[in-house]
Chains A and B, each alone.
Chain A
Amino acid sequence: MSLLEVNDLTVKFYTEEGVVNAVDNLSFSIDRGEKFGVVGESGAGKSVTALSVMRLIESPGHIESGEVLFNGENLLEMSDEEIRSIRGNEIAMVFQDAQTALNPVYTVGEQISETIRHHLGYDETEAKERSIQLLDTVGIPDAESRFSDYPHEFSGGMQQRAIIAMALSCDPDLLICDEPTTALDVTIETKILQEIETLADEFDTAIQLITHDLGVVADVCDRVMVMYAGKPVEKAPVEELYYDPKHPYTVGLMSSIPRIGDERERLQTIPGTMPDLVDLPSGCSFHPRCPYAEESCTRSEPALVDPETGAVATDDDEHVAACLEYTGELTDGLGYEVTVRDSSDDAEVETVAGAKASSAVDTDVPDAGGDRRD
C-alpha cells in the first residue's frame, strides 16, 4: 500500500471570472520514504494539488470529487477533528515564502513549540526543548537564544529552515514542499535542498516536492509528475524522464533549461503562456503551444497512456504520458530528438559534466522557463 494515493482528484474554484478548473482528474501515489516531484509552470495546479492533499482548499475553491488515501484512509471523508490530527502531525508542509508563512507577532520558537504541544501533548518546557533541538538540527546556529527571536529577526534562509523545523517537529510521514526555495537566492537554495533531502532520509519521511524547476527535481526526486493546466501530462521515474521524455511539454521544459556549452544559438523556450484555467483550449490543452500539434489535437483530449503500448495507464505503469502520438492519432509524429553525449566525447563540456556527476541536467540556472512566482 502506498503512503499517499490520490485518485481522480478534481478541484474547482468558483470565481467572478468563471469556474477555474484548477485540478482535473488527477491521480498519483507516493510510497513511504519516496521523494516525489511535481513539476510545471505556475498556474499548472501544483499548489492546489498540495493544498488539496491536506484538505486546505478554501472557498471559493472546492474539491469536487476524487479521494485522497493516506495510509489507506480517505482524508476527504474525515471529520474536521480527524484531519486536524493529521495535519502538521503526519503530513506537514513547507511553504514557498517562509516570511509570509510565519506569523510576525509570535516568536519563531513559540510557533514551533505550539505544534509540538498541540500534537504531541508536550508541556511548555518539553516543547521548548524539542524546538531548540529541531532548530539546531536544521542548522540554525545558537538555537537556544534564537528560540525567542521574532521572524523578522531571521534571514530569509533561516526563516525557511525554521519552517522546515516546524514541519518536521512531529515527525511526519509525508512532507509537502511547495516551491521551498523559490524565494531564496541560488546559493542558499542548494543548501536548503540538501538539508531537506538529508533530513527526510534521517526522519524517514516521504517528500512531495513541488517546483517549476526540473533541475531541482533531478537533484532530489525519485519519481516525477509533470503537470499542465491542472492535468498530469507525464509521470516517470526521474532518470527516464530526463533521458526519454515522452510528452512534448516535458521536452519543452527541458529544452528551455540553459546549459553551458550549448551549441544552439539561443534557448528554445516554450512559446506562449499557460492558458487561463477558466477557458481551456479544446482537445489537448497544450495544443496552442505545442510545435507538433495537429488538427486532431484540437478535437480529442489525450488520455494518460503507456507510451510503448498505447494502452490506458494503470497503476503498474512506470512511465506514462498524455499525448495523442501514443494512441496513433498523430500523422506526423513528434519531431524531437534527445541526444546524450558521454562527457568524454566532448572536451568542451567535460568540466561541467564532471562537476555535476550526480545529476543529468545542470542545475546551476534554476529557472525552467516558468515564472518564479506562483
Chain B
Amino acid sequence: MSLRRFILKRLLLTVPILFGVSVITFALVHLTPGDPISQMVAENPNVSQAEEAQLRAQYGLDGTLWEQYATWIGNVLSGDFGDVYGSSQSVAGVLISRLPETIALGLFGWVFALVIAIPTGVYAAINKDKFGDTASRIIALSGISIPNFWLGLMLILVGALWLGWWDVGAPRTAVYHPEMLWFLILPGITVGTAAAASIMRVMRTSMAEELNKEYVVAARAKGLPERKIILKHVLRNSMISVVTLAAMLTASIVAGSVVVETVFNWPGLGRELVQAIHGHEINLIMAITLFTGFFIVLANLLADILYAVLDPRIRYD
C-alpha cells in the first residue's frame, strides 16, 4: 500500500517537471537570438515585411512569448506538432515514421549493454584485483572514454571495409524484418558501448562494496553456498545503484543515437534532429526535443519505482 502511495506521489511530481521540460524546449528555440523566421528572412532577402509577418503568423511566432507558448502547448496537447517547413509534412507524421527505427536501435543498445555489463561487473567484483578484473576494468575505462562517433567509424572501417561483412550503404529491410538484427549489430554496439562500460563500472564497485558488508559474512556464517549469497543477497543490493544509473543511461543512449544515427545513416529520430537543426526546422526540433525530455523523465520515474521495489527502506523515507 505504501508502495502505491509512493508511486502516486512520484507521478504527481512528474507533472510540473514535464511542464518545465516543455518550457525549456520552447525557450531554447525562442529566446536565443537566432529566431528561425529572421534566419529564413536573412537567407532569402526577397521576403517582404508583410510576408515576414505572415510567416510569423503561420508558424505561431507572432504575439507575446506567452501567447506563443500557449498556442504551441495547446496544439501539442491535442497532438498537433505543426508542419515541417521544407516538405510540409506533418511533424507528427515524421515522428511516427522515425520512432520505430530509433526504438529498435536504442533497445538493441540497451540489451547489448546489460547483457555485457552485468555478468562482467559481477565477475570483476568477485575476482577483484585478479587478472580478469584488471582486464575488464581497462576495457570498461576505454568504453567510457571512446567517442561514439569514432567507434562507429572504426566499426565501419573494420566491419564493412576490411572484412566486407556489411555494406556501407546497404539497402535496408523494413524495421520489423528479422534481417534487421544483422544491420543493427554495428550501430547497436556503438550506441550501447558507453552504457555497457558505465554499468559495468558501477556494478563492480557496488558489488565489491556490498561484498564487504557484514551481512555477507553473516550469510556465510549461516552456511549458505557462495553462489546463493551472491545471486540472492549481494546482487539484489548492488542492483539498487545500477538501476539508478540505468535511468541516467537512457539519456546517454538517447543522446548517443543522435550521433550514431548520423554515422550509420540510420533513418531514426536522431538523424532527423540533426537534419532539422541544419535546416532550422523549429517545429521538428521542438517536437523531438520535447519527446526526448518526456522519455527521459519517464525513464527516471520508472527507475525510482524500481528502486523502491528493490529497496524496502526507501518507501518510508
Q: Chain B binding site: helix, strand, loop or mixed by DSSP?
A: helix
Cβ of B224 and Cβ of A104 under 8 Å apart?
no
Cβ of B223 and Cβ of A115 under 8 Å apart?
yes
- Bitwise, B225-261 to A at CB < 8 A (1) or not (0) is 1100000010011001000000000000000000000
How many residues of A are in contact with the other chain, CB < 8 A? 30
For the complex, give the distance between the alpha carbons of A106 and B313 in Å: 10
Contacts of B221 in A (CB 8 A): 54, 56, 87-88, 92-93, 95
Cβ of B218 and Cβ of A85 under 8 Å apart?
no
Cβ of B218 and Cβ of A105 under 8 Å apart?
no
Cβ of B222 and Cβ of A102 under 8 Å apart?
no
Chain A residue nearest to B218 (CB atoms) is A101
Which residues of B from 144 to 195 have beta carbons under 8 Å from A? none
How distant is A151 from chain B, measured CB to nearest CB, in Å? 9
Contacts of B226 in A (CB 8 A): 80
For the complex, give the distance between the alpha carbons of A92 and B313 in Å: 27
Which residues of A from 73 to 122 have beta carbons under 8 Å from B? 80, 84-89, 92-93, 95, 97, 100-106, 114-115, 118-119
**A166 at the binding interface (Cβ < 8 Å):** yes
**A154 at the binding interface (Cβ < 8 Å):** no
**B215 at the binding interface (Cβ < 8 Å):** yes
Contacts of A106 in B (CB 8 A): 233, 236
How distant is B2 from chain A, measured CB to nearest CB, in Å? 11
Given contacts A104-B311, A152-B313, contact A97 B222 (CB under 8 A): no
Cβ of B218 and Cβ of A102 under 8 Å apart?
yes
How distant is A222 from chain B, measured CB to nearest CB, in Å? 24
Cβ of A86 and Cβ of B223 under 8 Å apart?
yes
**B219 at the binding interface (Cβ < 8 Å):** yes
**A28 at the binding interface (Cβ < 8 Å):** no
B contacts, CB < 8 Å to A: 213-215, 217-226, 233, 236-237, 240, 310-313, 316
Known: A56-B220, A103-B215. 7 other contacts (CB 8 A): A84-B223, A87-B220, A102-B218, A103-B218, A104-B311, A106-B236, A115-B222
Task: List 30 A–B pairs whose Cβ atoms lie within 8 Å, in order of A's numbering.
Answer: A51-B217, A56-B217, A58-B217, A86-B223, A87-B220, A87-B223, A88-B224, A92-B221, A92-B222, A95-B214, A95-B217, A97-B214, A100-B215, A101-B214, A102-B215, A102-B218, A103-B219, A104-B215, A105-B236, A105-B311, A115-B223, A115-B224, A118-B223, A118-B224, A119-B223, A150-B312, A152-B313, A152-B316, A163-B218, A166-B222
